[in-house]
Structure 1
Amino acid sequence: MTEQRSTQHASWLVRADRALGGALNRFTLPSTHAFVIAEGRGSRVYDVDGRAYIDYVLGSGPLLLGHAHPAVVEAVCRQASRGSTFYWLNEPIIQLAEVLIEAVPCAERVKFVSTGTEATMHAIRIARAYTGRARILKFEGGFHGVHDYALQSAVSPTVADYPAPRADAAGIPEPVSETVLVSQWNDLALTEQLICAYADELAAVICEPLQRALPPEPGFLEGLRALTARYGIVLIFDEIVTGFRLAYGGAQERYGVVPDLATFGKALGGGYPIAAIAGRAELMELTDPRRRARGLPEAHLSGTFNGNPIAAAAGLATLQVLRQPGVYDQLYRVTDRLTSGLRALAAERRLPLQVIGEGPLFQVVFAERPPRNYADIVASDRERARRFGLACLEQGLFVVPGEKYYVSLAHTDADVDETLAAFARALDVITAQPAG
Structure 2
Amino acid sequence: MPRRSVAHDEWLRRGRSVLGSSLTSFVLPDSHAILLSHGLGSRVVDVDGREYIDYVLGSGPLILGHAHPAIVEAVSRQAALGSTFYTLTPAAIELAEEIVRAVPCAEVVKFVSSGSEATFHALRIARTYTGRTKVLKFEGGFHGTHDYALMSTFPPEPSDYPVPRPDSAGIPAQVAETVLVSRWNDLELTRTLIEQHADELAAVICEPLQRALPPALGFLSGLRELTQQHGILLIFDEVVTGFRLAYGGAQERYGVVPDLATFGKALSGGYPLAAVAGRREIMSVTDFGRRARGEPLAYLSGTLNGNPLAAAAGLATLAVLRQPGVYEQLYRITERLKAGLRELAAARGIPLQVIGDGPLFQVVFAEEEPRDYSELLRADRDRAVRFGLACLERGLFVNPGEKCYVSLAHSDEDVERTLEVFAAALDAILAEPSLLR
TM-score interval for Structure 1 and Structure 2 normalised by the shorter chain: over 0.9
Letter of the 1:433 counterpart: E
The 3-state SS of whatever aligns with 1:172 is coil
Distance, in Å, in 1 between the alignment partners of 2:27 and 2:55 is: 16
Distance, in Å, in 2 between the alignment partners of 1:323 and 1:89 is: 25
The 3-state SS of whatever aligns with 1:164 is coil
**2:67 — aligned with what?**
68
Alignment of 1:34-433 (within 5 A): 34-433=33-432
The 3-state SS of whatever aligns with 1:229 is helix
C-alpha displacement at 1:173, in angstroms? Answer: 0.5
Deviations 1:260-289 (Å, cap 9, x if unpaired)? Answer: 000000000110000000000001000011
Distance, in Å, in 2 between the alignment partners of 1:68 and 1:43 is: 10
Distance, in Å, in 2 between the alignment partners of 1:338 and 1:372 is: 21
The 3-state SS of whatever aligns with 1:50 is coil
Letter of the 1:29 counterpart: L
Whether 1:13 and 2:4 are equivalent positions in the alignment is: no
Unaligned runs of 5+ in 2: none
**2:32 — aligned with what?**
33
C-alpha displacement at 1:396, in angstroms? Answer: 0.3
Distance, in Å, in 1 between the alignment partners of 2:129 and 2:169 is: 30
The 3-state SS of whatever aligns with 1:205 is strand
C-alpha displacement at 1:432, in angstroms? Answer: 1.1
Deviations 1:381-424 (Å, cap 9, x if unpaired)? Answer: 01110000000000100000000000000000000000000000
Letter of the 1:202 counterpart: L
Deviation above 3 Å: which 4+ runs of structure 1?
none
My pick for the range that moved more, 25-34 or 312-321, is 25-34
Distance, in Å, in 1 between the alignment partners of 2:154 and 2:95 is: 33
Distance, in Å, in 1 between the alignment partners of 2:365 and 2:3 is: 30
Aligned positions, number? 435
Distance, in Å, in 2 between the alignment partners of 1:134 and 1:31 is: 44
TM-score by length of 2: 0.99
Deviations 1:202-222 (Å, cap 9, x if unpaired)? Answer: 000000000000000100000
C-alpha displacement at 1:20, in angstroms? Answer: 1.0
C-alpha displacement at 1:27, in angstroms? Answer: 2.0
Letter of the 1:344 counterpart: E
RMSD of the alignment, in Å? 0.6
Letter of the 2:380 counterpart: D
Letter of the 1:274 counterpart: L
Deviations 1:38-63 (Å, cap 9, x if unpaired)? Answer: 00100010000010000000000000
Letter of the 1:203 counterpart: A
> Matched residues, percent identical?
70
TM-score by length of 1: 0.99
Letter of the 1:80 counterpart: A
Distance, in Å, in 2 between the alignment partners of 1:330 and 1:26 is: 30
Unaligned runs of 5+ in 1: none
Distance, in Å, in 2 between the alignment partners of 1:398 and 1:376 is: 27
C-alpha displacement at 1:16, in angstroms? Answer: 1.2
C-alpha displacement at 1:294, in angstroms? Answer: 1.5
**1:23 — aligned with what?**
22
The 3-state SS of whatever aligns with 1:384 is helix
Distance, in Å, in 2 between the alignment partners of 1:207 and 1:432 is: 40
Distance, in Å, in 2 between the alignment partners of 1:153 and 1:432 is: 35
